[in-house]
Amino acid sequence: MVREFDLIGRYFSREVPEGYIGAGDDCAVLPEQPGRQWVVSTDALIEGRHFLSDVDPYTLGHKSLAVNLSDLAAMGATPAGCVLALALPEIDENWLSKFSDGFYLLADQHSCPLVGGDTTGTGHGIMICVTVFGHITPGTALLRSGAKNGDDIWITGSLGAAHIALKLLQGALPANDALLADTRAALERPRPPVMYAAQLPGLAHAALDISDGFLQDLGHILKASKCGAHIIFDNLPVDPAIRNLPNELMQEAVLSGGDVYQLCFTAPQRHRNAIETLARQFSTMVSRVGVITEGNELVVETLSGRRLMPSQLGYQHF
């Protein structure tokens, strides 16, 4: 098997930037980042659970890294590198070539070089495990526990499209090619706001990504920060592609749909201008959707004062 897996390795041994030592030794070596602190995250993607077996390998390569970059963004960290473990049931050079192209393009865009990895055969399905490293100014990582009473609640990007695309691909909604075309990129080619997020330490109090759905993930901030929240539904950034769907389906997608590799963060009101100015600077869409409150209640209301029941929308109260 050694020679076959040398072959796999060929697709993942592009040159690393100066200051790095990449594949070829027992470990990769990262460049010094004086005065910075390292952060790390790992995510596994399993065939049949996190992606469909017939997914385009190019988009799979992109997404494997994107879901990890999203974790760095949620801490306000700057990417510094990644490693990839890949277990494959068979050698398919076309698949490998496309997967690595998708992976490397996103890695290059974020100066997050692939510095090492492990490739192996498996009698089972495809498993992909990516670990990313980033750095931050010591003590400034955006934690879930930092939200303060009175903070604004912000969201980057838009909500709901990935959920609808997944339902369409799974056949849980009637086939609709136009709707799939409009929503699919949100599911398969997420673009976490990494560069914008690296500017948020010092402005934001708490952050996380919305990979489990907005209400579910906001709940993590509320629990860790021991506070509540008041959300104005009309202010939520509904993806334009799903605005005309039946109301209940649209609400479910927006409030509970997962796979959103965008951020929810909280920040004091005095930083509103800075947050919006930076957003324009980094071409990132941001929406102010609510406010952190005392207590531990999560309220979602429309502008007309109608209260939505999160309990009916997939939200598990803590």
Site residues, a second copy (CB under 8 A): 2, 21, 24-32, 34, 37-44, 46-50, 70-72, 74-75, 77, 81, 83-87, 115-118, 120-125, 127, 129, 131, 133-134, 136, 138, 141, 143-144, 207-209, 212, 224, 316
- Residue from 191, 199, 209 nearest 74 by CA: 209
Half-sphere exposure of 170 (CA within 13 A, CB side): 13
- Cβ 266 to a second copy shortest distance, Å: 14
CB distance 193 to 275 below 8 Å: no
One-letter identity of residue 78: T
- Cβ 48 to a second copy shortest distance, Å: 5
Helix (H, G, I), strand (E, B) or coil at 117: strand
Tell me how long the chain is.
Answer: 318
Q: 274 is written with which tokens?
A: 């800075």
- Cβ 30 to a second copy shortest distance, Å: 5
For a second copy, give the closer residue by CB, 41 or 266: 41
- Cβ 154 to a second copy shortest distance, Å: 16
For a second copy, give the closer residue by CB, 27 or 309: 27
For a second copy, give the closer residue by CB, 196 or 233: 196
Return d(Cα 157, Cα 313) in angstroms, integer: 21
Return d(Cα 130, Cα 227) in angstroms, integer: 33
Q: 149 is written with which tokens?
A: 């009473």
Provide the Cα torsion 132, 134, 138, 141; round to 10°: -70
- Cβ 95 to a second copy shortest distance, Å: 17
- Cβ 74 to a second copy shortest distance, Å: 4
CB distance 213 to 260 below 8 Å: yes
- Cβ 41 to a second copy shortest distance, Å: 4
For a second copy, give the closer residue by CB, 126 or 289: 126
Q: Secondary structure of 125-165 in the HEC alphabet?
A: CCEEEEEEEEEECCCCCCEHHHCCCCCEEEEECCECHHHHH
For a second copy, give the closer residue by CB, 115 or 229: 115
For a second copy, give the closer residue by CB, 27 or 172: 27
| Contacts of residue 123, Cβ cutoff 8 Å, sequence gap at least 6 | 89
- Cβ 171 to a second copy shortest distance, Å: 18
Q: 14 is written with which tokens?
A: 């592009």
For a second copy, give the closer residue by CB, 121 or 268: 121
Q: Label residue 213 left, alpha or beta by phi (over 0 means left) and psi (-120 to 50 means alpha).
A: left
For a second copy, give the closer residue by CB, 136 or 179: 136
